A = this chain, B = another copy of it.
Amino acid sequence: MITTIYEIAKHVGVSPATVSRALSGKGYVRKELREKILQVAKEMDYHPNTLARSLVTGQSFIIGLVLPDITNPFFPAIARGVEDVAHRNGYNVILCNTDGSARKEADYLGLLRSKRVDGVIFTTSQVVTRHVRQLVDSDIPVVLADRRMNVDCDFVVVDSIEGAYKATSHLIGLGHSAIGLITGPQKVTTGAERIEGYSRALRDHHIVMRDELICEGDYKENSGYRHTKKLLGLSSRPTAIFACNDLMAMGALAALEEKGIRVPEEVAVVGYDDIPFASVIRPRLTTVVQPKYEIGSIACEILLERMKDRDKPRQEVFLKPNLMIRESSVILEVKEALSD
């Protein structure tokens, strides 16, 4: 049998209301009585039924975290950031893997609404904003993480234009002018923005952009592999490749190795994200570091604030990416020279 405040009340000889007050710490209750109640509650292994509590208070202390796929090495750190902040504030988080499918997104969002979560942190891969807009309209707080959308709600993202600009400039600084670009899907904001950063960097350095050097990937390893092969087949092939995430950079490295092309001596490679193994593969991958944990933790903090105050002005957080230079772009001697 599961203990309720009624049983505790009976046991102690008071009313359920008093037990509730004692347990929640709200409202007056004589000190010794409170202690007695607390003790009995512990003895009876009482665990408050938050379902019942939520029903009356309107707070579930659950937040939803909707992302494409937790096995994608980019997301665990975000999830951890979210969960840490949530837990520290008494919230639990429901994890949803959408695989970027609009159907699953809608599905999960519906489930979360039914579960009366207090808020949602959402990383979409869709342009379809309908579900999200519905969610926002339904007045459950939402914060978009990592990827923006054209919806009126808070978000925290990393400045992808700047990240791509840094990566591209780095390669240009190394003397490259034929830089292959393997982008992400153009429909997600990060995809479009990284092209923008790439093209600005070229422009600022008076390098003409060559369309045949630009391929649209899908953030998966295989598309990095495929597009690299294609780029290598070009009559005037690139001397550097900038893959817009590390997974695709991995694919690029695999394609290059297969062709026996040395990295970085013959072709330099730069990735994006700094997923855990970027630093342990060989050659170690030069990449744009995203503050993944912070994306999650800050998103959650903003969500908590939003839950407290629905009327505060919309928050738009742009975090800064950093270029981490490693072996895949810089020949060792050069790197040492640079650091002098």
Chain B positions within 8 Å of A54 at CB level: 51
Cβ contact of A47, chosen from B52, B84, B93, B110, cutoff 8 A: B110
Cβ contact of A45, chosen from B71, B77, B97, B138, cutoff 8 A: B138
Contact A115 B95 (CB under 8 A): no
Chain B positions within 8 Å of A96 at CB level: 83, 87, 92
Chain B positions within 8 Å of A52 at CB level: 55
Does A49 count as interface, using CB distance less than 8 angstroms?
yes
Does A281 count as interface, using CB distance less than 8 angstroms?
yes
Chain B positions within 8 Å of A95 at CB level: 65, 79, 83, 93-95
Does A70 count as interface, using CB distance less than 8 angstroms?
yes
Known: A276-B73, A277-B277, A280-B277. A50 touches B80 (CB 8 A): no
Residues 266-301 of chain A, each 1 if its beta carbon lies under 8 Å from chain B, else 0: 000000000011001110000000000000000000
Interface residues of A in 93-136 (CB under 8 A from B): 93-97, 108, 110-116, 134
Does A250 count as interface, using CB distance less than 8 angstroms?
yes
* A64 nearest CB neighbor, chain B only: B92
* A93 nearest CB neighbor, chain B only: B95
Contact B79 A70 (CB under 8 A): yes
Cβ contact of A60, chosen from B51, B110, B282, cutoff 8 A: B51
The count of chain A contact residues (Cβ–Cβ below 8 Å) is 47
Does A264 count as interface, using CB distance less than 8 angstroms?
no
Chain B positions within 8 Å of A112 at CB level: 92
Residues 11-47 of chain A, each 1 if its beta carbon lies under 8 Å from chain B, else 0: 0000000000000000000000000000000000101
Contact A97 B71 (CB under 8 A): no
Does A48 count as interface, using CB distance less than 8 angstroms?
yes
* A70 nearest CB neighbor, chain B only: B76
Cβ contact of A134, chosen from B45, B77, B83, cutoff 8 A: B45
Contact A115 B92 (CB under 8 A): yes
Cβ contact of A97, chosen from B51, B62, B83, cutoff 8 A: B83
Chain B positions within 8 Å of A93 at CB level: 94-95
Cβ contact of A114, chosen from B49, B110, B113, B281, cutoff 8 A: B49
Chain B positions within 8 Å of A116 at CB level: 49-51
- 5 closest A-B pairs by beta carbon, nearest first, are A277-B277, A282-B282, A47-B113, A95-B95, A71-B76
19 contacts between A and B (CB under 8 A): A47-B110, A47-B113, A47-B138, A48-B114, A50-B115, A50-B116, A51-B60, A51-B115, A65-B95, A70-B79, A71-B77, A71-B80, A75-B76, A79-B95, A87-B96, A94-B95, A250-B280, A277-B281, A281-B281
Q: Which residues of A contact B (CB under 8 A)?
A: 2, 45, 47-52, 54-55, 60, 62, 65, 69-71, 73, 75-77, 79-80, 83-84, 87, 92-97, 108, 110-116, 134, 138, 250, 276-277, 280-282
Given contacts A49-B55, A92-B112, A277-B277, 6 further A-B contacts (CB under 8 A): A70-B76, A70-B80, A83-B95, A83-B96, A87-B108, A280-B281
